Amino acid sequence: MKPTKILITGATGFIGSRLCELLSLEHRLPYRALVRDFSRAARIARLDPELVAGDMLDAGSLARAVEGCDAVVNLAHGDDQSAEKQTKLLVDACVRARVRRFVHVSSMAVHGPSPKPPVLTESTASIQRWGEGYSDAKSAAEAVVTAAGKRGALATVILRPTIVYGPYSFFVTPIVQDARAGKISMIDGGRGVCNAVYVDDVCESIMAALDRDDAVGEAFLINGDGRITWRDFITTFAGMVEGAKTIHDHSLDEIAAYWQAKRPRVRDSVTAAMRLAASPAFHAQLGTIPPVGKLIRGTKELVARRISSEQKMTIKSRLQSRSATAHADEAPAVRMPSEGRVVREAYRSWVSNDLAKARLGWVPAHSFELGAQRTGEWMRFARIV
């Protein structure tokens, strides 16, 4: 049974904004968008939806937002520390309002920051605490929804999208920015498997989850059908930018060595302290404190009388040389990938979407070629390329 009114949380985000567009322009279903920051709501405001002010940590505003809605799509994820509490407050509000269907859009990240091959299917994928902020927050939020479903308080469906791309995607725009600068990078030759799903297909899986009664109580991995590598993904979007580009391939050994070197050591702390002590800017700040300023000036005058001009030049030269070397060490020629990107792009297993196809009656409508084409059309319209 189709819902009569849907509350969407996270409505101004990447997936939420596209869901609002499809609800207004294609499905033509009534919905209400929960908005915390109206300065971020320009994309959906042009659709003339029902907007309601609220905060996921404000139980009163959630109660008002859910009033009169028989379905809720939860796309909100404020920060890792508050995700579990936000979800609990929303679930409680939905239970009190007797909401018919609760669709919680989670993430493949619940299976860990570096998932192993058993994540290939829902039946073998484990959920636990992984010691990584985002994955643990997503797992904790899911646990709240699952518990509500098991005790019969709500009819819940959980969706776990993989790598969601399309217009406005934060997986696409950094690639384009690097390509415009004339350089792109890959990890381990781009051989990792990119489990990419187009944003419209994710939205259609949400619509199916709202409607299918046999999906209640289940969790589904939502992935596209195009089996591509990260090299395919990166070069496709980088290729939409005109001009020559250089490709830097970060080996896994190179990345490991870089992050190992970035870990703070006692010697680094001592060097930093010495550099600070020798800094003219630091001396200038200390000099604004009258007793300290007087001591610094007196010390400098005493030293100046005791050493020759040649010794002064030698000391100054050594300090400048150390500073230049330190800055060179801190700034590699090519920007190193973040740890999150390394985890995503080193993954080698394809994630199955068979259960979603069977139980949701959903099939992704966009091959990677079609999804990339539509994303490229948006980038040209937006003058990004």
- Give the start-to-end residue ranges of the domains of the chain: 6-247+348-381, 252-330
Selected from 3.40.1190.20, 3.40.50.300, 3.40.50.12500, 3.40.50.720, the CATH number assigned to the domain covering 6-247+348-381 reads 3.40.50.720
Sign of CA dihedral 243, 246, 250, 255: negative
**Phi (first) and psi of residue 167, to 5 degrees:** -55, 135
C-alpha distances (whole Å) from 250 to each of 253, 330, 339 are 8, 17, 12
Q: How far apart are CA 357 and CA 75, in angstroms?
A: 21
Per-residue pLDDT, 304: 61
Residue 349, Cβ density class (10 Å: 0-12 exposed, 13-18 middle, ≥19 buried) = middle
Which DSSP string corresponds to 114-146?
A: S--GGGGSTTT------S-HHHHHHHHHHHHHH
| pLDDT in 10s for each residue of the chain, 385 residues | 789 999 999 999 999 999 999 999 999 999 999 999 999 999 999 999 999 999 999 999 999 999 999 999 999 987 889 999 999 999 999 999 999 999 999 999 888 877 666 667 888 777 877 888 888 999 999 999 999 999 999 999 999 999 999 999 999 999 999 999 999 999 999 999 999 999 999 999 999 999 999 999 999 999 999 899 999 999 999 999 999 999 999 998 888 888 777 766 555 555 655 565 566 665 565 556 666 566 656 666 666 666 666 666 666 666 556 555 555 455 445 678 888 888 889 888 889 999 999 999 999 999 999 999 999 999 999 999 9
Please list the helix, strand and coil fractions of the chain in percent, rounded to the nearest 5, in that order: 55, 15, 35
Per-residue pLDDT, 277: 58
Coil, strand or helix: which one is 163? strand
Q: How far apart are CA 263 and CA 258, in angstroms?
A: 9
Per-residue pLDDT, 256: 83
**Total residues belonging to the chain:** 385
Residue 54, Cβ density class (10 Å: 0-12 exposed, 13-18 middle, ≥19 buried) = buried
Beta strand ranges found along 23-107 (DSSP E): 31-35, 50-53, 71-74, 101-105
